[in-house]
Structure 1
Amino acid sequence: MSEHSVSIEVPDPHYTLFNGSRDGMPEVVVVNDALLAFEHTDIFAWHLEVTLHAVDLADEGMPAPDESKLLFEIGDKIEQAIVGYNALFLARGTWNGLRQLAYRVYDPDVANEALQELLKGEHPRFWEFRMDHDPSWEQAGFYFQLFPLASGNDG
């Protein structure tokens, strides 16, 4: 191992499901809570948010079952393109006709290139992404702040 390389142990994902509401509409959020104690946040200093737009909606803006299945398939393709040494899955939220996928990214150029390549193909649903430098993990805080609520603490 050279003096410029770092060996890190990425924790196995562990998921917590939250059922809540935003702006009076239901919201379902799944968070990889293994990242709560992740020690190498400085290495994954970029926040990536992918937004998929659902078409076939059921009650209160939630995707119908077949639509949800399709959104999972699209999300899986996106995740296969970016997750690994370069990105960590943070969360998935569904609300008001949107499926939002959040990741923490090591090399934004690699992630951007992979996503741009995916966007060149045909897609059954419109999706877009945004990536921001976020070394303090402030944007991940939206998801992590759900945990005190789940345990009943005022945090």
Structure 2
Amino acid sequence: MKEFKVEIPEDKPELFKFNQDNLPGIVYVNAALSGFEPKKVFVWHLSIIINLENLIENGMPSIEEREIVDPFGDELEKNIRGDLEKPNALFLARVTWNATRELIFRVFDPEIANDYLQSIISSKSYPREFDFRMEEDFEWQKTEFYLQGY
């Protein structure tokens, strides 16, 4: 197995807004990943979509909803990343749009992330319904929308 020296960049948060299907969206992106190498270490693209319930206009979460969903997202991020010195995943983005909150990661070992998420599902220990999808993305094509311009 080939070994790589990986220097994990410090998160560089950037915020941008977008509009899709006449609904506003907000993206909090880790712009530090725009020049990240070696990309082939974190080839798995993990998207977790949380369904929001208590909304204000345009499908955006209310303050009360954010008080529920933000800590849940923080807990997911902490456990999916793992050890900060040698993480299993890199945080890419948090997207809020159309009654959903999406958390996106680049993952090294998909089994670790999958096992963790399956344990949450089987124990029903989540405040909001969510779904996830993890797929190989060797060229980081699925990151382009988020990292454009950085």
- Counting only pairs closer than 5 Å after superposition, residues 9-48 of structure 1 correspond to structure 2 as 9-48=7-46
Tell me, yes or no, if the aligned pair for 2:33 and 2:147 is still in contact at 8 Å.
no
One-letter code aligned to 1:25: L
Residue 71 of structure 2 aligns with which residue? 73
**Number of residue-to-residue matches in the alignment:** 145
Unaligned runs of 5+ in 1: 149-155
Larger Rg: 1
Contact 1:30 1:93 in 2 (8 A): yes
Which range is displaced more, 77-86 or 32-41? Answer: 77-86
Q: After superposition, what is the alpha-carbon deviation per residue over 1:43-98, rounded to whole angstroms, capped at 9, x for unaligned? A: 00000000000000001100001101211111111112210321000000000100
TM-score, normalised via structure 2 length: 0.91
- Does the Cα contact within 8 Å between 2:47 and 2:102 map onto a contact in 1? yes
Structure 2's unaligned 5+ residue stretches are: none
Q: Identity across aligned pairs (percent)?
A: 39
Give the deviation of 1:5 after TM superposition.
3.9
| Partner AA of 2:138 in structure 1 | P
Matched residue type, 1:128: D
CA contact (8 A) 2:39 2:138 kept: yes
Query: Which residue in the other structure is 2:133 paired with?
Result: 130
- What's the Cα RMSD here? 1.4
Residues 81 and 115, structure 1, Cα contact 8 Å, conserved in 2: no
1:53 paired residue number = 51
In structure 2, distance between residues paired with 1:65 and 1:55 = 12
Residue 116 of structure 2, aligned match among 114, 117, 123:
114
Q: CA deviation at 1:4?
A: 5.0
Q: TM-score, normalised by structure 1?
A: 0.88
Partner residue of 1:151? none
